[in-house]
Structure 1
Amino acid sequence: MADELIDGPVYRVVLNDEDQHSIWWADRDLPAGWRDEGSRGSREQCLAHIDQVWTDMRPLSLRRRMEQRASA
């Protein structure tokens, strides 16, 4: 996803501490608790990327608890 090929606002994919994904405007500071995932593009491109990579919607803390229970 290249910024120069985008007609309109450029977004970036962001993650929080629970590995939940969202999009944020590329030209604005990130909100507290979110970090840049590295992908940028149009809104549609970023949402399509999230659809591809965020396959487990469970928060990270829940996944860890479930893994601990499964291994106990």
Structure 2
Amino acid sequence: MYNFWPEPPYFLLIFGLFVGITCGLAFEAILKQKVQEWYKTKSSQTLAEIRGIQLLVPFLGIAVGICLFLASGLAIFAV
């Protein structure tokens, strides 16, 4: 069967790094926004209670991106 991916997965390495960085930037922006809202409203909620799908999706994107990056790096260096 024909393999569509190049032997060392350079594309997955770069894609994993890109996904991790972009999701990290999105996570940072959303977290800053949530903290500013929390600070302005002087809410009695702790910051640990302020969570939701808006923070979960970028966090999972960071995790997937890092896993892709590390797995591709291991495949490239044949460990």
TM superposition score normalised by structure 2: 0.26
Greater share of strand: 1
Q: Which has the higher helix share?
A: 2
Which one has more relative contact order, counting CA pairs under 8 Å at least 6 apart?
2
Larger Rg over CA atoms: 2
